Amino acid sequence: MIKAVVFDMDGVLFDTERICLEAWNEAAILMEEAPGDIEASLKDCIGLNRNDTQLYFQEKYGEDFDYDRFRQLNSKAFGEIIARDGLPVKDGVYEILEYLKKAGTRIALASSSRRVSVLGHLKEAGITDYFEAVVTGDMVEHSKPDPEIYRMACESLGLPPCEVMAVEDSPNGIRSAAAAGMKAVMVPDLVQPDEEISQLLYLKCDSLLGIVDYLKKYKTYVEILDRELIPAMGCTEPIAVAYCAACARELLQKRPEKVRIMASGNIIKNVKSVIVPNTNGQKGLEAAAAVGIIAGDAARQLEVIADVSQEEKEELAGYLKEADIWVEPADNGFVLDITVEVFCQGDSASVRIVNEHTNIVRKERNGEILFNKDPEGCAENDKEEDCPDYGLLNIEDICRFAEKADLDDVRPVLKRQIECNTAISAEGIRGDYGANIGSVLLQAYGDNIHIRAKAVAAAGSDARMNGCELPVVINSGSGNQGMTASLPVIEYAREYGVDDDTLYRALLVSNLSTIHQKSHIGRLSAYCGAVSAGAGAGAGIAWLLGGGYREVAHTIVNALAITSGIVCDGAKPSCAAKIAAAVDAGILGYEMYIHGQQFYGGDGVISKGIENTINNIGRLGKEGMKETDREIIQIMTAGRELQKDDKSGKE
């Protein structure tokens, strides 16, 4: 993570380079022997201190050139212009300094100008107090492009250069910052970067506000990854029910005799046919709630039932027979809505989860409300201002983030994803789980990278949907989506011998593009989430194999044009087959583009532009398929007796 920003002054904080040019031109006119091409000379000298500027003039115009007189004349002209017009502060200066201050990012300055001039300008602009360190040209022996001034700035901050961003407007400044080992950012003023300078840049922005935008997105993308790529054991919907029940049991402070579960249709749909881990093969809402009550550790959230002893498993079977547990549908306008009410010996407690699998919005004990929040808000332990803004996601910036990210900021979550998801995938290949889609693919179609990419993702789902107790790292609240977005990319990296750093960057593309798509659709929908993750996997593969934004964008569009008709009819063994189809579409979408083929705007739900297409798919999945979702749930629950008990369950 970038811990500090060091600014150049002239041309970055203040629009003084143009004033310098005007002053130099005035001085040149007054010289008996006027130097030629004064603008080119100024551009060459930007970033140099006084001594090196004098050497430049003497080398270019001869030893007899009266540099002292020229300097006196241009200094006089410069001062007169400032006195007449005021010190011109660059657009975005106050905004970027305030943003960095609030973000806790340290600020320093490294200018080739003299200290008295620098401090005077900072004071006049009212920004002196923002700067923790100020290093000036008269404090160093060698001026830019030598790295001395930037090394001194980093030493003043006590930070390694690799953790510090330098903001410059000149080629000499960029050379200096890059040679110091810093992240060199150019906001061009009088000089645009040429090919040599472009190779040294960490980033190029049109204004200081562009840097603010980049830093905001960088921070947000890291926060989104930390928030979304978390471990979970088992299908997340039954695990959310178990978590809710464990929290209710914790409030009640004893084992309940009666349990009422109120769940939205999508929760019922996704819990109905999937095995709840650590229950000896049990399925359904009752089993999920019961194991959370008997053995759940609420502090572990989506790993709430990761550690269940054999004794507790045996105890669970008896509890399911003895306790009065019933289910009612909840139709409160939320697709993810779970309430668990528990009762024992005159005491009661309830917990409600809405929108996200661990987003507790209400806690109540014996009629007393202990916690209550807006269901549309963030998770219980998040402050509103800490919730990342998913609206900042877009495919172009995701690709830029993948290219520029400091891997130390994201390596822990990605390393955990690789370890967890490859482990359950390998178990799915070895074991006998569900319909064994992963194994069938390998047996029927052979051992090539295209088949293996589909098989490893499907095998992980085989295991997870059918009771495997290994954890997965999820994406957008779904383990299946987490495996689909990651495992094909990992398999391609193995096939092509790609180094770890490139794999991590490709996983940034696959995960964030999946999250971006899902943020438009919502956590649960009649639209199969594997489609989004399969397109994300294709995007990650495109990046892994040397593609950039263009290849990634076209891969996603092509993939979405192929498989966007797949519906979600609940978590179950056939999810593995849908995952295989979604990964196939992602790979085909990439292969189409590199072979000169693509789907175009106007082809079905595809529009011109990747973001327009993602918006269309979000509209289709969130709004267009609401009635489809209701019909699917009615079909699935036609034979299930959902009780609306006249007795509320309260004693």
Task: Please give the positions annotated as active site.
Answer: 8, 10
User: In this structure, are residues 361 and 352 in contact, taking their beta carbons and an 8 Å threshold?
Assistant: yes
SS3 content of the chain, % helix, strand, coil (to 5): 55, 10, 30
Dist CA 359 CA 379 (whole Å):
4
Give the CA-trace dihedral at 416, 422, 426, 432, to 10 degrees: 80
* Backbone φ and ψ of 566, nearest 5°: -75, 130
Dist CA 612 CA 605 (whole Å):
10
Dist CA 395 CA 640 (whole Å):
43
Strands 337-344, 347-354: pairing kind: antiparallel
Dist CA 205 CA 215 (whole Å):
12
User: In this structure, are residues 299 and 272 in contact, taking their beta carbons and an 8 Å threshold?
Assistant: no
Q: Residues with Cβ < 8 Å from 497, sequence gap 6 or more?
A: none
Residue type, 580: A
User: In this structure, are residues 311 and 339 in contact, taking their beta carbons and an 8 Å threshold?
Assistant: no
Dist CA 46 CA 43 (whole Å):
5
> What's 35's DSSP letter?
P
Residue 622, Cβ density class (10 Å: 0-12 exposed, 13-18 middle, ≥19 buried): middle
Residue 158, Cβ density class (10 Å: 0-12 exposed, 13-18 middle, ≥19 buried): exposed
